Amino acid sequence: MSADRPVVSLEDVRIEFTKSQLFGLAQDERITAVNDVSLDIYENDVVALVGESGCGKTTLGKTAIGLNRPVGGSVEYRGQDVFETKDRSGIPSGLLGGGDFEHSFSEIRRSLQIIHQDPESSLDANDTVEGILAEPLKRWQPELDRRDRRERIYAFLDYVGMVPPKDFADRYPHEMSGGQQQRIALIRALLMEPDLILADEAISALDVSLRVDMMDLMIDLQEAVNTSYLFITHDISTARYMAERADGRIGVMYLGEIVEIGPVEEVTHNPQHPYTKALLWATPDMGSNEALGRTQRLEDAPLRRLDIPDLENPPSGCYFHTRCPEARTVCTEHAPKPTPVGETHEVSCFRARDDHDYWESEELSEDAEMEISDRR
Ligand code: SF4
């Protein structure tokens, strides 16, 4: 996979928000939501991004599909800068700033789709299922006539088990369950023939019994239509199920950084980062509806502290040191960089290197931790 050219490539992406954007306040202090993150997503890839609420995973996901402009780093679609294309789209070739691109911005937007946590809010309440699903076909495949569109829509409805298709095609969004609405949102995204779908907590609002079905359906359809998923969740058992079904990767995010990423087997059976270990420790046997529905008890996990540091005032050195049971003095002074621990497995922790100064550094006592914390 790594030898292939990525469909989407993020390099050293930094996203900042002002306080006024986040809280509607007058101050314009900047808060870093995503901190120099690099991530490549390939054809037919699945990356399940997991982390606690507020860790920046949705912000990163929206950046990957061109909805958030980074203040630093770059986002490329098939080797072409997404935001440069956006800025220069509409300027005729030959004029200053204009240029010919292999991929137009509208093509990039079509290729990078999203399905949200709440499908009802993204479906037109005043249109029928057939009307909603016909829209992308009218726009992107104008050569299809009404009968062709209907045939395609009915085939998708049939595939996802919404039968008989005519019954569902005539319904309005409010006449369907949450699971059915999410299937319509998925079909709509797939009708764009996307290269990547950002599934942003797309199964979180579903009944536990429907979550596995929805993930199975997403994977089945991925194989049928050749797309990739950036699958965002706060639940590592869900991330694991999705990545395992697709032979994909898990990325673990903490305070705006991907602290560990790798093949699902590696990350779940050979976790390297203390935060990944804590997440897994708090997770029951996975792969069943029961497991997917159980409440995570990260508060019981082996952590120095429970409270998540404030993004406005992040810890010095390694952002995880205030909670890390393995933290040493060097961790309060320097930030670890992503370090390979396998062919496609990376971790941001000093412990990944046998020759790092970490091993000579003093262990961090509770008192030292409190002093550091008080000084901030
Ligand atoms: S660098 Fe230090 S504080 Fe950070 S995760 Fe590794 S051991 Fe813990």
CATH number for 75: 3.40.50.300
Q: Are residues 108 and 247 in the same domain?
A: yes
- Going from the Cα of 349 to the center of ligand 1, the distance in angstroms, rounded, reads 5
- Going from the Cα of 335 to the center of ligand 1, the distance in angstroms, rounded, reads 9
With tokens 């958030």, the residue in question is 68
Q: Are residues 96 and 173 in the same domain?
A: no
Residue 245 in any domain: the answer is yes
Residue 283 in any domain: the answer is yes
Q: What is the pLDDT of residue 208?
A: 81
Q: Are residues 216 and 110 in the same domain?
A: yes
Q: Are residues 147 and 128 in the same domain?
A: yes
Residue 312 in any domain: the answer is yes
Q: Are residues 267 and 366 in the same domain?
A: yes
Q: Are residues 80 and 129 in the same domain?
A: no
Which residues contact residue 254 at a Cβ distance below 8 angstroms, ignoring those fewer than 6 apart?
51, 52, 55, 275, 319, 320
**Is the C-beta atom of 321 inside 6 A of ligand 1?**
yes
Best mutation site among 339, 349, 361 for ligand 1 pocket (most ligand atoms within 8 Å of CB): 349
pLDDT tens for each residue of 79-138: 999 999 998 886 655 555 556 788 999 999 999 999 998 888 889 999 999 999 999 999
Residue 106 in any domain: the answer is yes
Q: What is the rounded CA–CA span in Å between residue 206 and residue 311?
A: 30
Q: What is the pTM of this model?
A: 0.89
* Structure tokens that stand for 116 in this block: 């949200």
User: By residue range, what is the domain housing residue 92?
Assistant: 8-115+195-375
Residue 3 in any domain: the answer is no
Residue 2 in any domain: the answer is no
**Is the C-beta atom of 331 inside 6 A of ligand 1?**
yes
- Which residue has a Cα nearest atom 1 of ligand 1? 349
Q: Which atom of ligand 1 is nearest to the CA of 331?
A: 2
Residue 1 in any domain: the answer is no
Q: Are residues 209 and 350 in the same domain?
A: yes
Q: Is 236 exposed, middle or buried (0-12, 13-18, 19+ CB in 10 A)?
A: buried
Domain-terminating residue out of 164, 193, 222: 193
Q: Are residues 82 and 200 in the same domain?
A: yes
Q: What is the pLDDT of residue 119?
A: 86
What DSSP assignment string belongs to 223-246? HHHT-EEEEEES-HHHHHHHHHHH
- Going from the Cα of 44 to the center of ligand 1, the distance in angstroms, rounded, reads 33
Q: What is the pLDDT of residue 259?
A: 98
Split into its structural domains, the chain has a count of 2
Q: Are residues 153 and 207 in the same domain?
A: no
**Is the C-beta atom of 259 inside 6 A of ligand 1?**
no
Q: Where are the alpha helices (DSSP H) in 263-364?
A: 264-269, 274-281, 289-293, 329-333
- Going from the Cα of 10 to the center of ligand 1, the distance in angstroms, rounded, reads 24
Domain-terminating residue out of 145, 160, 193: 193
- Going from the Cα of 239 to the center of ligand 1, the distance in angstroms, rounded, reads 23
Bridge partner list, 251: 49, 261
Q: Which atom of ligand 1 is nearest to the CA of 275?
A: 5
Q: Are residues 83 and 157 in the same domain?
A: no
**Is the C-beta atom of 191 inside 6 A of ligand 1?**
no
Q: Is 335 exposed, middle or buried (0-12, 13-18, 19+ CB in 10 A)?
A: middle
Q: What is the pLDDT of residue 289?
A: 44
Q: What is the pLDDT of residue 310?
A: 84
Q: What is the pLDDT of residue 375?
A: 38
- Going from the Cα of 331 to the center of ligand 1, the distance in angstroms, rounded, reads 6
Bridge partner list, 228: 196
Q: Are residues 308 and 350 in the same domain?
A: yes
Taking 70 as the pLDDT cut, the residues of the chain under it are 1-3, 19-28, 90-99, 284-301, 366-376
Residue 349 in any domain: the answer is yes
What φ, ψ does residue 207 adopt, rounded to 5°? -60, 145
Q: Are residues 304 and 206 in the same domain?
A: yes
Q: What is the pLDDT of residue 287?
A: 42
Q: What is the pLDDT of residue 302?
A: 74
**Is the C-beta atom of 47 inside 6 A of ligand 1?**
no
Q: What is the pLDDT of residue 301?
A: 66
Domain-terminating residue out of 175, 193, 211: 193
